[in-house]
Structure 1
Amino acid sequence: MTRFSPTQFPPEPWNLAGQAYASTWRVPAAELPSLPQGIKPITAGGQAFVVTAWIEYQEQGQLAYHELLSTVAVRGKRTTASITEIWVDSEVSLAGGRALWGIPKDLATLDFRHGRTFTASASTSDDWIATAAFSKRAGAPVPLPARFDIAQTLDGALKHSPVRAKAQPRLASASWNLNPDGPLGYLAGRTPIVSLTLDDFTLRFGS
């Protein structure tokens, strides 16, 4: 894997690989965080859909680091999401995500523990953000879109970035604890409608 200084990052597209643990939530549209201008959430009965994920990018890809993100499903020509909150423990990832795609990455301390149950925590120097535990359920892989777009604001304009992914998504049980006074506080006290593990994924981000 190529090593980059904090002020350098690979050009797009990024080819990444690793493990991910995701949950989908229903949230009243009126309680969503801000979205890029011109972007509208997908809603049903006044409820929008938010996906949160813990992601471990591993050595097989161009970069290796940890990530916690929250995205909102939005209207687009194909499956599209907009990232509203995201934390990484890599200055290279932070710089590249902001410069290439307008992804609002911030730094955090992320602790991942793998085993029969996957556990994770995220915090900044100011406060804790979230903790979670995932346990994989028995059953066949669940089909997910292999291609989707990420819509963000870059240099004052809307940018749609294509993503291609391969994974083995499986249903999981998940328990989240979110700081009600933190940046993901709009999810505190809610229960995910579905959770998944995405084993051994590969990802091509950007064009």
Structure 2
Amino acid sequence: MFGLPKRIKNYSNRFSLVDGIPFKLPVAAVNSPALMAVFPIDAEKAKDFLPAGIHPLRLWNSALLIVTVIDYRETPIGKYVEYSIAIGCTHGEKPAPRLLPAIFMNWFKTGQYVVDLPVSSEVSVKGGKGIWGMPKHQGSLNFLITENKVSSQYDLDGKLVTYVEIDKPASAWLPVKTKASNYCSFRGMLMKSDIFLNAKAGLNLFSKAKARFVIGDHPRLQALKELNIGKAIATIFLPSIGGVLDDHIESWFLDFEQLPKVAPEGFESVIDLTLSEAWLAPPTAPIPPDSGDNS
């Protein structure tokens, strides 16, 4: 099954119960559309968003901001939208050379460092953060597909946090069969988890990659404006992904030059969450008119 490790194949159709969340194994999602937009950003300023041991993935002179939104329609924990804002990265003692980590991903431990990860439902927060260490929290989200566009809006407290929109490719023909790595910070630890993907994608590159990424007036992600986000260099639409989360998780202590004065977010943020699959109200904050630039 699309390159899954043998241990995952072996426990197919068995069950797990973790933190009160029941799973039929493997932990998989199917029939779920997704969009992705990749933007060049200032590589030096990107370092400010990354912990020790995580380095910006450089293509030429720029790092990469990766916005991925998945409309999960069939999963063990119900339906939800997941809106990932991340920086392409490598993991190691030293920064990797330019370009090569995009080709030799295993060698350079290439992945993405997730800056923010709102999701629709509380049970997704409980599982994603408590088990895999992903920085999930509940937000007002949507995922819209029209004849020519694919878009998603992310609101908090009635205000716009971000909005992403891409031109819908004419067709989805490119086979995507890969493993993708997420790096996240939780409990004072650097957490790494993997997902195995199997899908077909529509891809637009460089001048054909038409996308908008709007940072709204909510204070949560205002710091992203310091990254000098450029015009999209790649957009991808996947009409229906198949994804399996790996059961193998890695973690390392986050280290600092001095002892942090504030304790990092820990299990207290998830321990009392419920298994509710209910969504918050849809996002309603107005979207600024298209000025032709990311804002």
Q: Residue 82 of structure 2 is aligned with which of 35, 57, 67?
A: 67
Residue matched to 1:94: 125
Cα distance, 1:96 vs. partner?
Answer: 1.0
Secondary structure of 1:27 counterpart: strand
Residue matched to 1:4: none
Range moving further from structure 2, 101-110 or 29-38: 29-38
Cα distance, 1:128 vs. partner?
Answer: 0.7
Residue matched to 2:39: 25
Distance 1:126-1:114 versus aligned 2 partners, 3 A rule: closer
Amino acid at match of 2:51: P
Q: Point out the structure with the larger helix share.
A: 2
Using the size of structure 2 for normalisation, the TM-score is 0.60
CA distance in 2, matches of 1:189, 1:36: 20
- Residues 167, 200 of structure 1: 8 Å contact kept: yes
Residue matched to 1:54: 69
Ranges in structure 2 where 5+ consecutive residues have no aligned partner: 1-18, 92-105, 205-209, 248-295
Moved >4 Å (runs of 4+): 10-13
CA distance in 1, matches of 2:235, 2:51: 26
- Residues 8, 92 of structure 1: 8 Å contact kept: no
CA distance in 2, matches of 1:189, 1:152: 21
- Residues 50, 70 of structure 1: 8 Å contact kept: yes
1:160 equivalent to 2:192? Answer yes
Q: Point out the structure with the larger strand share.
A: 1
Count of residue correspondences: 200
Residue matched to 2:6: none
Amino acid at match of 1:35: L
Matches within 5 A, 1:7-26: 8-10=20-22, 14-17=27-30, 18-26=32-40
Identity %: 21
Cα distance, 1:35 vs. partner?
Answer: 2.2
Secondary structure of 2:244 counterpart: strand
Amino acid at match of 1:183: L
Residue matched to 1:183: 221
Distance 1:22-1:200 versus aligned 2 partners, 3 A rule: same
Distance 1:57-1:121 versus aligned 2 partners, 3 A rule: same
Secondary structure of 2:167 counterpart: strand
Residue matched to 1:206: 246
CA distance in 1, matches of 2:83, 2:126: 16
CA distance in 2, matches of 1:174, 1:34: 23
Q: Which has the higher contact order (CA 8 A, sep 6+)?
A: 1
Cα distance, 1:158 vs. partner?
Answer: 2.9
- Residues 177, 198 of structure 2: 8 Å contact kept: no
Distance 1:74-1:95 versus aligned 2 partners, 3 A rule: same
